[in-house]
Amino acid sequence: MAKSLLEQLKSMTVVVADTGDMQSMEKFKPQDATTNPSLLEKAAKMPAYQQIVDDTLKKASAEKPGASAKEVANEAFKQLAVAFGVKILQIVPGRVSTEVDARMSYDTAATLDIARDIIARYAKLGIGRERVLIKIASTWEGIKAAETLEKEGIHCNLTLLFGLHQAIACADAGVTLISPFVGRILDWYKKDTGKTYEGADDPGVQSVTKVYNYFKKFGYKTQVMGASFRNIGEIRELAGCDLLTISPELLAELDATQDELPKKLDAEKAKSSDAQRITMDRATFDRMHAEDRMATDKLKEGIEGFSKALEDLEKLLAKRLEEIGAKQPA
């Protein structure tokens, strides 16, 4: 019997579930899982996870007597992200990525404080730091925070990554993992040019391929995890990438499709690529970022989007807290 694309992909790439839905993880058996505020907000609305949400809210409320619903909701979000992470780690054998508050993306000190707090919360629940990746936006300030965290043995996943300059800065900082956003890059180019792109012509695919080849050619240990896919064609073009984080919908499509899956990215072949080494510092980073309209637009949009999702989640939690309070016996 022919193997599915998903089965073949798992033989050459670490497959990661891009979801907060644990039922999907149980079905597709990924190695790792990633979450973000948008995914947590979506999961928190699902009836299957209402008990986790309610238990977290009650715990946060008990720990902050007299606090406003908004303050309790803010504390509950921190606890909920870790609570979901702990549940996820009961399913996946590898790691979970838990995101720092996106509103702190340009604040190195605040990012460090939040990251250390997340790790401490996991530790209290018996989860070692080797099973957690701290997700941080790939701003210069975020990358500098990740550099410090990595030296402390706290592993980082740098997200909202759209340009080669961000990738090189991350690799120079010694981060564990980067997540270039394939689909969001495609979205920008389609809107900007009015064209459609397929296969190897996809700008998101080209961007990740370029980063992968650069890292492998110059011997960086930082791994590349393609993210934010719009179709399985993009995934097929990146077969062989270190990791790929994939939504449940596309995991299902890969699982249902039987076809040959050639390896497209290869570490040995990358060593003979024509990539030229770039020395990265703050001035070079800022210059390259300003020159890259797509990266500038998508990083700003991504931080704003994750920040809004976080605020929406906090509102949802505050509303749920009031509902729970109304149900409590007088």
Q: Please give the positions annotated as active site.
A: 135
| Cα 249–chain centre separation | 17
Please give the C-alpha separations between residue 153 and each of 115, 175, 270, 320, in angstroms, as whole numbers: 12, 11, 29, 37
Which residue from 40, 53, 86 is spatially nearest to 61, judged by alpha carbons? Answer: 53
How many Cβ atoms are within 10 Å of 319's Cβ, its own excluded? 12
Measured over the CA atoms of residue 65, residue 311, residue 327 and residue 121, the dihedral's sign is negative
CA–CA gap between residue 203 and residue 234 (Å, rounded): 10
CA–CA gap between residue 126 and residue 120 (Å, rounded): 10
CA–CA gap between residue 124 and residue 156 (Å, rounded): 20
Which residue from 245, 179, 258 is spatially nearest to 25, judged by alpha carbons? Answer: 245
CA–CA gap between residue 238 and residue 209 (Å, rounded): 7
3-state secondary structure of 271: coil
Size (the chain), residues: 330
